[in-house]
Chains A and B, each alone.
Chain A
Amino acid sequence: MTAELGHYALVLALAVALVQGLVPLYGAHRGEAGWIALARPAAAVQCLLIVVAFGALTNAYVSSDFSVLNVASNSHSAKPLLYKITGVWGNHEGSLLLWVLILALFGGAVALFGGNLPAPFRARVLAVQALIAVGFLSFVLFTSNPFARLLPPPVDGRGLNPLLQDPGLAFHPPFLYLGYVGFSMAFSFAVAALIEGRVDAAWARWVRPWTLAAWCFLTVGIGLGSWWAYYELGWGGWWFWDPVENASFMPWLAGTALLHSSIVVEKRDSLKNWTVLLAILTFSLSLLGTFLVRSGVLTSVHAFATDPARGSFILAFLFVVVAGSLGLYALRAPAMRGGGLFAPVSREGALVFNNLLLSTACATVFLGTLYPLFLDALSGQKITVGPPYFHATFGPLMVPVLLATALGPMLPWKRGDLLGALQRLKFAVAATLAALFLTLVLAHDGPWLAIPALAIGVWMIAGALEEAAQRLRLFRVPVAESLRRLIRLPRAAWGATFAHAGVGAVVIGIVASSAWQEEKLVVMRPGEVLSVGGYEVTFDGAAEFQGPNYTGVRGAFRVSRDGRAVTALQPEARNYPNPPMATTEAAIRTGWDGDLYAVIGDPTGDGAWSTRLYHKPLVHWIWFGSLVMVLGGLISLSDRRHRVGAPARRTTADAVPAAAEGD
Chain B
Amino acid sequence: MLRASLVALALILLAPSAWAVAVDKPLADPALEARARAIHKQLRCLVCQNQSIEDSNADLARDLRLLVRERIAAGDSDAAAIGYIVERYGDWVLLKPPVKGGTVMLWLAPLLFLALAVLLTVLWYRGRQAQPATAATATPLDDDEQARLRKLLDGDER
A residues near B, CB below 8 A? 116, 118, 196-202, 205, 233-235, 237, 240-244, 269, 298, 335-341, 344, 352, 356-357, 359-360, 363-364, 367-368, 371, 375, 379, 381-389, 392-393, 397, 488, 490, 492, 521-523, 551, 553, 573, 575, 582-584, 599-604, 610-612, 639-641, 648, 650-652, 655-656, 658-660, 662-663
Contacts and interface: CB of A to CB of B under 8 A. Distances in A.
Nearest to A649: B155
A659 B150 CA distance: 9
Contact of A367 (B110, B118, B153): B110
Interface in B109-123: 109-110, 113-114, 117-118, 121
Interface string B123-142: 00100110001111111010
B39 to A, nearest CB: 13
A382 B97 CA distance: 10
Interface of B: 17-26, 33, 37, 42, 44, 48-52, 54-57, 90-97, 101-103, 105-106, 109-110, 113-114, 117-118, 121, 125, 128-129, 133-139, 141, 144-145, 147-156, 158
A344 B126 CA distance: 11
A497 to B, nearest CB: 16
B47 to A, nearest CB: 10
The 6 closest A-B pairs by CB, nearest first: A601-B23, A386-B95, A388-B96, A242-B50, A641-B155, A659-B147
Given A336-B138, A367-B106, A639-B156, 19 more contacts: A198-B138, A200-B141, A202-B148, A233-B57, A235-B57, A237-B55, A298-B49, A337-B136, A356-B121, A363-B109, A384-B44, A384-B92, A384-B95, A384-B97, A386-B44, A386-B94, A393-B110, A521-B26, A640-B155
Contact of A205 (B56, B121, B152): B152
Contacts of A575: 18-19
Question: Most chain-B CB neighbours within 10 Å: which of A298, A488, A648?
Answer: A648
Contacts of B18: 551, 573, 575, 582
Contact of B26 (A344, A523, A663): A523
A31 to B, nearest CB: 14
B151 A602 contact: no
Contacts of A363: 109-110, 113
Given A242-B49, A360-B113, A612-B22, A659 B57 contact: no
19 contacts: A202-B149, A235-B56, A242-B49, A244-B49, A359-B117, A363-B109, A364-B113, A384-B44, A389-B106, A523-B25, A553-B19, A582-B20, A602-B23, A610-B25, A641-B152, A641-B155, A650-B158, A652-B154, A662-B148
Given A243-B49, A604-B25, A648 B138 contact: no
Q: For chain B, what secondary structure do more than half of its interface residues adopt (helix, strand, loop), or is it mixed?
A: helix
B25 to A, nearest CB: 5
A658 B96 contact: no
Contacts of A602: 19-25
Question: Most chain-A CB neighbours within 10 Å: which of B21, B145, B149?
Answer: B21
Contacts of A655: 150, 154
B123 to A, nearest CB: 13
Given A584-B22, A610-B24, A660-B151, A237 B51 contact: yes
B92 A385 contact: no
A605 to B, nearest CB: 10
B117 A356 contact: yes
Nearest to B25: A610
A234 B137 contact: no
A269 B105 CA distance: 38
Nearest to B91: A383
B59 to A, nearest CB: 10
Contact of A612 (B20, B23, B91): B23
A337 B134 contact: yes
A198 B26 CA distance: 65
Contacts of A659: 144, 147-148, 150-151
A491 to B, nearest CB: 9
Given A243-B50, A341-B128, A383 B152 contact: no
A383 B92 contact: yes
A281 to B, nearest CB: 13
Given A196-B139, A269-B135, A652-B154, A234 B147 contact: no
A337 B57 CA distance: 56
A269 B96 CA distance: 44
A240 B50 contact: yes
Contacts of B139: 196-198
A383 B48 CA distance: 14
A477 B43 CA distance: 59
B87 to A, nearest CB: 15
A639 B152 CA distance: 12
A492 B91 CA distance: 49
A518 B92 CA distance: 30
Contact of A340 (B133, B138, B144): B133
A582 B21 contact: yes
Contact of A387 (B21, B50, B105, B154): B50
Contact of A352 (B52, B92, B121, B144): B121
Nearest to B133: A339
